[in-house]
């Protein structure tokens, strides 16, 4: 019994250490910059600045399969699977387009551009420049899955319809936490808004 308690104590201590390390490490991670334009009860409008992403398009459907495969490919690249064997810092959040053929996106740290980035060894990885954009975002906590993502996507659409705000069909899931983080998990569903009319609709 004493040995079992010692083992459980060690496991608990390691768990706490990992969570503290994950929390402190997240503070130093570069993030996808935006400004909040307007807050509503269930969502907010944001302006994102133009950014460069490493992306991989996947034929599989569903969050679970796509996120695991896409993350593995892109993480391999930033951990050194490139022509310079160079490690690239992780950024936040990890983004995934909500389409039939899903695309996973890692934001590139701002010190890089297309010319200075190492070339990926895997041909399916593409560098994509996302322009500045206005989006609507809804936040949810806990662990993400297909059902939750779809639920919050529909909630966002209903909330936008209620406010009379026009939106496109470009929806994304944003995940902010590593798989081993158990606390303060944050997820979002966002949708791009048509820039030419959004200023008129939210004022």
| pLDDT exceeds 80 at position 87 | yes
Answer yes or no: pTM beyond 0.75: yes
Mean pLDDT of the residues in the chain:
85
pLDDT bracket for residue 123 (50, 70, 90):
very high
pLDDT above 90 coverage of the chain, percent: 66
Q: Is residue 110 within 8 Å of 62, Cβ to Cβ? A: no
Q: Is residue 84 within 8 Å of 118, Cβ to Cβ? A: yes
Q: Return left, alpha or beta for 107; rule: phi > 0 is left, psi -120 to 50 is alpha, else beta.
A: beta
pLDDT bracket for residue 201 (50, 70, 90):
low
| pLDDT exceeds 80 at position 25 | no
Top-confidence residue, 13 or 111: 111
pLDDT at residue number 21: 41
Q: What is the DSSP string of the chain?
A: -HHHHHHHHHHHHHHHHHHHHHHHHHTTSEE--EEEEEE-SS-EEEEEPPEEEEEEE-S--SHHHHHHHHHHHHHHHHTT-BTT------EE-EEEE-SSS-EEEEEPPTT--TTTSPPBSSTTEEEEEEPPEEEEEEEEES---HHHHHHHHHHHHHHHHHHT----S-EEEEE-S-TT--SS-EEEEEEEE-HHHHHHH--
Top-confidence residue, 22 or 81: 81
Domain ranges of the chain: 1-29, 30-201
Mean pLDDT of 111-140: 95
pLDDT bracket for residue 12 (50, 70, 90):
very low
pLDDT at residue number 60: 74
pLDDT at residue number 173: 96
pLDDT at residue number 39: 95
| pLDDT exceeds 80 at position 43 | yes
| pLDDT exceeds 50 at position 55 | yes
Q: Specify whether domain 30-201 bears CATH 3.40.50.1100.
A: no
| pLDDT exceeds 70 at position 191 | yes
Please report, for residues 6, 16, 53, 104, 183, the alpha-carbon distance to residue 9 in angstroms, rounded to integers and kept in the order given: 5, 11, 42, 38, 20
pLDDT at residue number 169: 94
Beta strand 91-92 with 30-31 is parallel
């Amino acid at each position: 019994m004493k040995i079992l308690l010692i083992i459980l104590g060690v496991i608990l201590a390691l768990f706490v250490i990992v969570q503290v390390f994950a929390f402190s490490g997240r503070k130093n991670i570069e993030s996808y910059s935006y400004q909040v334009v307007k807050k509503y009860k269930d969502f907010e409008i944001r302006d994102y600045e133009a950014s460069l992403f490493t992306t991989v398009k996947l034929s599989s459907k569903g969050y679970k399969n796509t996120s695991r495969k896409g993350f593995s490919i892109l993480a391999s690249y930033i951990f050194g699977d490139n022509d310079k064997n160079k490690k690239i810092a992780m950024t936040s959040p990890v983004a995934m387009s909500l389409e039939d053929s899903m695309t996973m996106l890692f934001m590139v740290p701002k010190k890089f551009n297309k010319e200075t980035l190492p070339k990926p060894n895997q041909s399916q990885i593409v560098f994509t420049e996302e322009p500045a954009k206005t989006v609507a975002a809804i936040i949810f906590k806990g662990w993400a899955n297909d059902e939750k993502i779809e639920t919050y996507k529909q909630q966002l659409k209903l909330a936008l319809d209620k406010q009379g705000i026009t939106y496109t069909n470009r929806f994304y899931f944003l995940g902010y936490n590593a798989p081993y983080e158990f606390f303060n998990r944050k997820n979002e569903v966002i949708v791009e808004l048509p820039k030419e009319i959004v200023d008129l609709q939210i004022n």
